């Protein structure tokens, strides 16, 4: 059975790096922010509401298909936020592991400031993530330092 990893954390916390360091030849990666950047042409962490339905259709299809996947070894879903759709689809699956890349927000902020491709509201986005963490919205995750 395919193992599903939902990897979340602050922007620039190292989610993609964590996944790439574990990626096998028969694994699949869904990186919401990277896909939005690729299909919209916008900088990282910005979105186009007109492109969003296409991205969400792909995501929904992926979530439905991987629940029954037998040929792919691991699926990594990289997201800043955990959403209700993801949680509801996987709520009865034994093969899902939620991970939170727990990098100090100040380190993330420093990384964001150094990036050319950052969005204009990265500080606001980071604060939103901190607030969600403080409210316990990532409590179902295993925290990775």
For the stretch 21-50, pLDDT in tens is: 999 999 999 998 889 889 998 877 777 889
Structure tokens, 36: 């939005």
How confident is the model at residue 125, as a pLDDT?
84
Exposure string over 1-35, b if 16+ CB within 10 A, otherwise e? ebebbbbbbbbbbbbbebbeeeeeeebbbbbbbeb
- Residues 89-94: what's their mean pLDDT? 76
> Rounded mean pLDDT of the chain?
87
What is residue 75's three-state secondary structure? Answer: strand
The burial of 64, by beta-carbon neighbours within 10 Å (0-12 exposed, 13-18 middle, 19 or more buried), is given as exposed
Q: Under a CB-based contact definition with an 8 Å cutoff, are residues 6 and 77 in contact? A: yes
pTM of the complete model beyond 0.85: yes
Domains of the chain, each with CATH number or no CATH: 3-144 (3.40.50.300)
How confident is the model at residue 31, as a pLDDT?
93
Q: What strand order describes the sheet that includes 142-144?
A: 28-31, 74-79, 3-9, 96-101, 142-144
Strand partners, 31: 78
pLDDT top residue among 67 and 125: 125
134 confidence band (pLDDT: 50, 70, 90)? very high
Q: How far apart are CA 57 and CA 83, in angstroms?
A: 15
Highest-confidence segment of 68-72, 89-93, 98-102, 126-130: 98-102
């Amino acid at each position: 059975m395919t193992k599903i990893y939902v990897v979340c954390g602050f922007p620039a916390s190292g989610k993609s790096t964590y996944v790439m360091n574990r990626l096998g030849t028969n694994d699949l990666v869904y990186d919401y922010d990277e896909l939005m950047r690729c299909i919209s042409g916008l900088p990282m962490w910005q979105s186009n509401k007109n492109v969003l339905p296409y991205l969400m259709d792909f995501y929904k299809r992926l979530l439905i298909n991987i629940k029954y996947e037998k040929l792919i070894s691991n699926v990594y879903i990289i997201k800043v936020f955990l959403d209700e759709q993801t949680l509801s689809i996987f709520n009865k699956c034994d093969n899902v592991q939620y991970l939170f890349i727990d990098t100090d927000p100040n380190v993330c902020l420093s990384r964001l400031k150094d990036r050319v491709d950052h969005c204009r509201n990265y500080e606001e986005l980071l604060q939103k993530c901190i607030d969600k963490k403080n409210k316990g919205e990532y409590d179902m995750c295993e925290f990775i330092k």
